[in-house]
């Protein structure tokens, strides 16, 4: 791997090429962007490029340094991660970092600290980091990786250069899926839209055969008169029973709800088109191959009902993370959808 | 030697270099000159406005070997060592990492020793808000009366978390956010010394997005400088910030105005395709709406309002077609959307739904016009009281009639039919009423049990009495031979015939009829009628009924 292998983030790789050659590296960076978009990968590549003994502005992947970074055992590249079972990055993790920051690099010109999931630092940890982040000793680079910038404190953001990762365009994801997995073209289209620009997400979806699951779900909820409990039972049996831990179950349910959400979003778009439409079909639908079902549903649901359903699903998704019975939640969600489906029109 | 970022290299080294905190600089310089420096300071303010720098400059000014008129020389060894952060007498402590009572005890212990070289021993505690409660309390006594040679300087971004007992022992200085012109001047100055070429507007827009933090803007400038090697353009700034161009946002707002939901979704889609950060986009949209709101509320001459977006004429045009209440509503629901979910797909869908909602909703009327309307109605009442008396006779027919009708229609199942039948030959109903009076005289309990029931038919042999669905127990009790005999006795008394009583349970579940509603000559009932009449004749009520074309459905006393 080298910079050139990082997909669709040219603005970032070019930036770092330039900064490395002109020796303009800042001491602190925040890499931000959604999951599965290449932030950790780039952090690794960047460390390689900085420490590589062969090449100037890229990694050679063959020198001693590059190989060791690839295998995460380079003494001057430190990874700070959330401990197992912990919810936050804690002050002790940061204190460890502060200790190593004080020492000079063992064998290279720089020492690099990569803090993963920096958006999950707790209050004490982020405050603890502030002074170190502002004025670390020379030849120290601290990279914070965060999925979202909102939970990161202003005081931290102000001390770092913020590098924003872009979602990967759908066509690149499609290409990759076809190239790497030899996937079906019909599937690939849907997956690239559903993954919303995250390559990691797309891979998982493909592996999970999620395209088929989605079609199945759409077919089930696309009919009038949903039998809520039966549907809930089916969903639980088919999709949730295979996952073992609670976390896996939650993840699976989240995906399914996203599917349903998407379906109703499409429905809303179709509805809008029918009511206000100019005839142009420029807004893409997620479920473009189920347009008949969509049209049919749009016939008997009002805009208000659809909006209510979407809001309801969003509300339910919040509850997934709470400590409650997942099966009950599923039943509840489908009951609500069925109820709103048949509720009186105003 | 590795590169040191601009914000560190251009950290102010003397009072005159500090940007935008004039009120504090003046106070401190005067205090130094008149030798009235307090022993403890608390510097509070948002990030990147110069708190730590000020603390360092103050300690330099206090300890400088050649210091004259309160300004550090920045040449002597003390000044240099303070700048580099390795002075023996100026101890800069990271309050967030050393937050426990033990660290504070350490300070307390060392406070007693005289400074090694300089005239003062200065403790700078940065991020002081992270000290624990115990640590704060441990330092109180020392902070109140430290030895003569000791000064404390605390710096924090959230002064509210510093206990009052600590604040009262310090002189507190509140640092302000630095204004846009101040920041852009400073950036231009840095660019000049660093030989960075940039467009004029670049500084302005950096300053706007940095929201008052000088360090933020310097970080961004640094990033831009290494990003583009020639001239920095406005587009680069947008790229770095991940912001959406203003035209896109204003066209989105336009689509709301034009009520074209499909277009709004389309524009939103384009924005997302261009790889922008969704949270940043929401912020920007909120700022734009804020601008619109500002423009629509302040109609004064130009230049008085500081807007984020540049095209004020466009803002004026758009704000004229959106009422402030609509804008307020937009702002509210969009800002709620920001915190609702963190999943990208969900966020996108949520926003799409919101935009469709905004593009299809009707213009919100300001609350005041609604109030005016109500006020107008009230006036009509007050002005027309004399007309009311004339309206009385017509009222009784027109209003009371539908009211009665409505009450009758309510129990539309079976019961109504039975009622109609009953009115057809009211004979047996009257008979039953007489029977009930007899029963009441004979045995009160039976009367009570019967009162929920109604008679369906009485012929020569049989009287059929029906109970509501939930009255099974009543029925069973009345079916006991003793009770039955009493009822049959009463029946005989009234009709003079031997009639058998048969009880049934209503199948379609009519609820118990209101006991008060049945006409068994209760005093309450009469009273109720009087009250009802009284209410009906009240002029205000009449007028209301007339105005809204309404009817009286129910009259209730205060206590009911």
What is the tens place of the pLDDT at every residue in A228-239? 777 778 878 877
Tokens of B558: 């205060």
B209 to chain A, closest Cα gap in Å: 12
φ, ψ dihedrals at B501, nearest 5°: -100, 135
- Point out which residues pair with B172 in neighbouring strands: B42
Kindly state the helix (H) or strand (E) to which residue A77 belongs, with its residue range.
Answer: strand A77-80
pLDDT at res. A345: 45
- One of 3.40.50.2300, 1.10.8.60, 1.10.240.10, 2.140.10.30 is the CATH number of B180-241, namely 1.10.8.60
The per-residue pLDDT for B124 is 94
* Cα A254 to chain centroid, rounded: 13
Longest CA–CA span in chain B (Å) reads 130
First CA to last CA across chain A, in angstroms? 59
Nearest chain A residue to B132 by CA: give it.
A124
Question: B118: which 2 tokens?
Answer: 């300089």
* Identity of the residue in A15, A25, A198 whose CB atom sits nearest the CB atom of B3: A25
Which domains does chain A show, CATH number per domain?
3-164 (3.40.50.300), 208-342 (1.20.272)
Residue B559, Cβ neighbours under 10 Å: how many? 4
Q: Which residue has the tokens 């504070």?
A: B104
Q: Specify the long-range contacts of residues B478-487, CB closer than 8 Å, at least 24 apart.
A: B478/B446, B478/B449, B478/B450, B478/B503, B479/B503, B483/B443, B483/B446, B483/B449, B486/B439, B486/B442, B486/B443, B486/B446, B487/B435, B487/B439, B487/B446, B487/B450
Residues A265, A284 contacting (CB under 8 angstroms): no
- Return d(Cα B264, Cα B266) in angstroms, integer: 5
Alpha carbon separation from A258 to A222, A248, A252 (Å, rounded): 15, 15, 10
pLDDT reported for residue A150: 82
- Per-10-residue mean pLDDT for chain B, 560 residues long? 82 89 92 90 92 92 80 86 88 90 92 90 93 93 92 94 93 92 90 86 84 89 80 81 81 86 85 78 87 78 62 78 85 85 81 86 76 85 60 43 41 44 61 81 79 77 78 78 82 79 71 47 65 79 80 67
Count interface pairs A-B at CB distance under 8 A.
172
Mean pLDDT of A248-254: 83
Q: Is B174 at the interface with chain A, CB within 8 A?
A: no
From the CA of A128, how many Å to the nearest CA of chain B? 5
CB A318: neighbour CB atoms within 10 A?
Answer: 11
Q: Give CA B549 to chain center in angstroms.
A: 38
In tens, the pLDDT along A296-317 reads 777 778 888 888 888 888 888 8
Best of A14, A158, A273, A310 to mutate (most B CBs within 10 Å, chain B): A158
CB of B50 within 8 Å of a chain A CB? The answer is no
Q: What is the pLDDT of residue B307?
A: 67
What is the per-residue DSSP string for B213-260?
Answer: -HHHHHHHHHHHHHH-SSEE-HHHHHHHHTPPPHHHHHHHHHHHHTT-
* Cα–Cα distance, A192 to B135 (Å, whole number): 54
Half-sphere exposure of A137 (CA within 13 A, CB side): 15
Residue of higher predicted confidence among A273 and B100: B100
How long is chain B?
A: 560
Closest-CA residue of B relative to A195 is B345
By three-state DSSP, how is residue B93 classified? strand
Residues of chain B numbered 358-377 and touching chain A (CB < 8 Å): 360
Residue of B95, B25, B18, B14 whose CA lies nearest to B57: B14
- In this complex, which of B126, B213, B240 lies closest to A158 when CB atoms are compared? B213
Asked if the interface predicted TM-score (ipTM) of this complex is over 0.85, the answer is: no
CATH hierarchy code of domain B6-174:
3.40.50.300
Per CB-CB distance under 8 Å, the chain A contacts of B194 are none
- pLDDT top residue among A214 and B22: B22
Q: What is the pLDDT of residue B424?
A: 47
Mark yes or no for CB contact A311/B353 under 8 Å.
Answer: yes
Q: Do A124 and B272 touch (CB under 8 A)?
A: no
Q: Cβ contacts of residue A14 below 8 Å, gap of 6+? A: none
CB contact under 8 A, A261 and B261: no
Report chain B's terminal Cα–Cα distance, integer Å: 87
Residues of A in contact with B1 (CB under 8 A): 138
CB-CB under 8 Å, A154 with B130? no
> What is the per-residue pLDDT for A226?
66
Out of A94, A160, A272, the one facing B262 most closely (by C-beta) is A272
Please, are residues B363 and B511 in contact by the beta-carbon 8 Å criterion?
Answer: no
8 Å CB contact of A282 and B266: yes
CA distance A17 to A6: 13
Cross-chain Cβ contact B2/A138 below 8 Å: yes
**For residue B2, which residues of chain A lie inside 8 Å, CB to CB?**
23, 25, 27, 109-110, 138-139
Residues in chain B within 8 Å Cβ distance of A25 = 2-3
Across residues A198-202, what is the average pLDDT?
84
Is the Cβ pair B265, A283 closer than 8 Å? yes
- Looking at beta carbons, which residues of chain A come within 8 Å of B52? 134
- CA-based diameter of chain A, in Å? 73
The answer to whether B266 contacts chain A (CB < 8 Å) is yes
Which chain A positions have a beta carbon within 8 Å of B5's beta carbon?
A: 26-27, 161
Nearest CA in chain B to A138: B2
Comparing alpha-carbon positions, the chain A residue that sits nearest to B265 is A283
Q: What is the mean pLDDT of chain B?
A: 80
Q: Do B2 and A128 touch (CB under 8 A)?
A: no
Pick the CATH number of B246-360 from 2.40.170.20, 1.20.272.10, 3.40.50.2300, 2.30.40.10: 1.20.272.10
Comparing CA positions, the residue from A167, A111, A171, A166 lying closest to residue A139 is: A111
The burial class, CB within 10 Å (0-12 / 13-18 / 19+), for B401 is: exposed
At residue B409, the pLDDT reads 41
Chain A interface includes B47 (CB < 8 A)? yes
**What is the average per-residue pLDDT within A178-198?**
81
Residue B140 is predicted with a pLDDT of: 93
Q: Which of residues 74-113 of B touch A (CB under 8 A)?
A: 85, 94, 96-97, 99
Interface list for B 194-223 with A (CB within 8 A): 213, 215-216, 219-220, 222-223
Backbone angles phi, psi at A117, to 5 degrees: 50, 50
What pLDDT was estimated at residue B390?
47
- Which residues of A are less than 8 Å from B273 in CB distance? 169
Token readout for B257 is 């105005």
**Owner of token pair 């509503």:** B329
Partner residue facing A15 (CB), from B3, B227, B259: B227
Q: Which residues of B298-311 are buried (b: 16+ CB within 10 A; e: fewer)?
A: eeeeeeeeebebee
Other beta carbons within 10 angstroms of residue A245's beta carbon come to 8
CA distance A218 to A214: 6
Is any Cβ of chain A less than 8 angstroms from the Cβ of B2? yes
Burial of A324 (0-12, 13-18, 19+ CB in 10 A): exposed
Task: Decide if domain B421-509 falls under CATH 3.30.300.180.
Answer: yes
Burial label for B540, CB within 10 Å (0-12, 13-18, 19+), is: exposed
Helical residues (DSSP H) of B12-117, grouped into ranges: 22-33, 51-63, 77-84, 101-111
Residue of A nearest to B242 (CA): A164
Proportion of chain B in helix, strand, coil states, percent, rounded to 5: 60, 10, 30
Contact B342/A148, CB-based, under 8 Å? yes
Beta carbons within 8 Å of B122's beta carbon, 6+ residues apart:
B59, B62, B63, B89, B90, B91, B150, B151, B152, B153
Q: How many CB atoms lie within 10 A of CB A154?
A: 14
Digit-coded pLDDT (tens) for A83-134: 888 888 889 889 999 999 988 888 888 999 999 999 889 888 999 999 899 8
Q: At what angle do helices B523-537 and B539-548 cross, to 10 degrees?
A: 70
The token pair that represents A107 in the structure block: 């064998």
Inter-chain CB proximity A131 and B269 less than 8 Å: no
Q: Where are the domains of chain B?
A: 6-174, 180-241, 246-360, 421-509
Helices (H) and strands (E) in chain B, counts: 26, 10
Please spell the DSSP secondary structure of B434-484, one letter per residue: HHHHHHHHH-HHHHHHHTT-EEEEE-SSEEEEEE-TT-HHHHHHHTSHHHH
Nearest to B287 by CA among B360, B352, B211, B341: B211
CA B154 to CA B38: how far, in whole Å?
Answer: 13
Bridge partner residues of A52 (DSSP): none
B413-428 burial string, b = 16+ CB within 10 Å, else e? eebeebeeebeeeeeb
């Amino acid at each position: 791997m080298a910079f050139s292998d990082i997909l669709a983030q040219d603005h970032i790789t070019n930036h770092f090429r330039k900064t490395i050659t002109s020796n303009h590296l800042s001491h602190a960076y925040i890499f931000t962007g959604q999951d599965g978009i290449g932030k950790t990968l780039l952090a690794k590549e960047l460390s390689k490029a900085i420490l590589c003994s062969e090449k100037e502005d890229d990694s050679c992947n063959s020198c001693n340094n590059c190989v060791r970074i690839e295998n995460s055992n380079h003494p001057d590249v430190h990874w700070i991660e959330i401990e197992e079972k912990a919810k936050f990055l804690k002050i002790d993790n940061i204190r460890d970092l502060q200790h190593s920051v004080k020492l000079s690099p063992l064998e290279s010109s720089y020492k690099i600290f990569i803090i993963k999931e920096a958006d999950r630092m707790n209050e004490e940890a982020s405050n603890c980091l502030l002074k170190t982040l502002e004025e670390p000793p020379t030849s120290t680079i601290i990279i914070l990786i965060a999925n979202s910038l909102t939970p990161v404190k202003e005081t931290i953001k102000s001390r770092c250069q913020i590098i924003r990762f872009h979602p990967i365009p759908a066509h690149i994801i499609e290409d990759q899926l076809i190239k790497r997995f030899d996937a079906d073209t019909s599937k690939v289209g849907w997956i690239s839209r559903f993954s919303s620009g995250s390559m990691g997400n797309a891979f998982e979806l493909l592996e999970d055969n999620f395209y088929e699951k989605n079609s199945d779900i759409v077919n089930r909820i696309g009919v009038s008169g949903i039998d809520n409990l039966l549907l809930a039972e089916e969903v639980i049996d088919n999709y949730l029973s295979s996952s073992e831990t609670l976390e896996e179950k939650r993840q699976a349910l989240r995906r399914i709800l996203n599917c349903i959400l998407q379906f109703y979003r499409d429905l809303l778009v179709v509805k809008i088109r029918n009511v206000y439409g100019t005839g142009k079909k420029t807004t893409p639908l997620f479920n473009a191959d189920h347009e008949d079902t969509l049209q049919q549903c749009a016939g008997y649901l009002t805009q208000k009902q659809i909006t209510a359903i979407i809001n309801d699903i969003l509300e339910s998704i919040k509850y997934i993370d709470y400590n409650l019975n997942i099966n009950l939640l599923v039943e509840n969600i489908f009951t609500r959808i069925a109820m709103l489906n048949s509720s009186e029109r105003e | 030697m590795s590169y040191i970022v601009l914000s560190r290299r251009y950290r102010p080294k003397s009072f005159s270099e500090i940007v935008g905190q004039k009120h504090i600089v003046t106070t401190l310089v005067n205090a130094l000159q008149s030798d009235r420096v307090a022993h403890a300071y608390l510097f509070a303010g948002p990030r990147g406005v110069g708190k730590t720098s000020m603390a360092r400059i103050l300690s330099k000014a206090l300890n400088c070997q050649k210091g004259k008129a309160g300004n550090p020389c920045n040449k002597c060894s003390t000044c240099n060592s303070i700048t580099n952060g390795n002075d023996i007498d100026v101890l800069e402590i990271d309050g967030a990492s050393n937050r426990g009572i033990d660290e504070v005890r350490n300070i307390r212990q060392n406070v007693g020793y005289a400074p090694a070289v300089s005239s003062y021993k200065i403790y700078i505690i940065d991020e002081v808000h992270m000290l624990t409660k115990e640590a704060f309390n441990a330092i109180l006594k020392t902070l109140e009366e430290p030895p003569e040679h000791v000064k404390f300087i605390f710096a924090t971004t959230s002064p509210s978390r510093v206990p009052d007992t600590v604040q009262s022992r310090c002189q507190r200085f509140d640092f302000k956010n630095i204004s846009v012109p101040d920041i852009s001047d400073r950036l231009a100055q840095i660019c000049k010394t660093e030989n960075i070429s940039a467009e004029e507007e670049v500084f302005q827009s950096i300053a706007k997005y940095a929201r008052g933090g000088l360090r933020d803007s310097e970080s961004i400038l640094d990033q831009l400088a290494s990003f583009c090697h020639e001239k920095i353009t406005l587009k680069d700034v947008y790229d770095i910030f991940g912001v959406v161009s203003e035209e896109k946002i204003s066209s989105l707002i336009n689509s709301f105005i034009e009520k074209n939901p499909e277009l709004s979704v389309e524009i939103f889609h384009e924005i997302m395709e261009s790889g922008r950060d969704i949270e940043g986009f929401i912020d920007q949209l909120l700022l734009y709406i804020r601008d619109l709101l500002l423009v629509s509320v302040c109609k004064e001459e130009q230049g008085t309002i500081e807007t984020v977006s540049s095209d004020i004429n466009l803002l004026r045009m758009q704000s004229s077609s959106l009422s402030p209440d609509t804008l307020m509503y937009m702002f509210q629901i969009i800002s709620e959307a920001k915190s609702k979910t963190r999943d990208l797909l969900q966020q996108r869908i949520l926003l799409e739904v919101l935009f469709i909602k905004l593009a299809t909703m009707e213009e919100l009327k300001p609350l005041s016009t609604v109030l005016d309307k109500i006020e107008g109605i009230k006036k009509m009442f007050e002005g027309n009281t004399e007309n009311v008396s004339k309206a009385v006779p017509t009222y009784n027919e027109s209003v009371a009639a539908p009211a009665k009708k409505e009450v009758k229609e309510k129990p539309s199942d079976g019961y109504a039919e039975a009622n109609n039948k009953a009115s057809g030959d009211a004979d047996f109903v009257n008979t039953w009423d007489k029977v009930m009076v007899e029963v009441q005289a004979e045995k009160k309990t039976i009367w009570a049990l019967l009162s929920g029931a109604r008679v369906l038919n009485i012929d020569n042999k049989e009287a059929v009495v029906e109970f509501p669905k939930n009255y099974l127990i009543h029925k069973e009790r009345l079916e006991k031979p003793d009770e039955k005999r009493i009822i049959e006795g009463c029946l005989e008394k009234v009709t003079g015939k031997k009639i058998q009583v048969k009880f049934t349970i209503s199948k379609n579940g009519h609820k118990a009829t209101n006991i008060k509603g049945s006409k068994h000559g209760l005093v309450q009932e009469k009273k109720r009628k009087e009250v009802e009449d009284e209410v009906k004749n009240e002029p205000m009520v009449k007028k209301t009924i007339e105005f809204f074309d309404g009817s009286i459905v129910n009259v209730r006393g205060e206590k009911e």
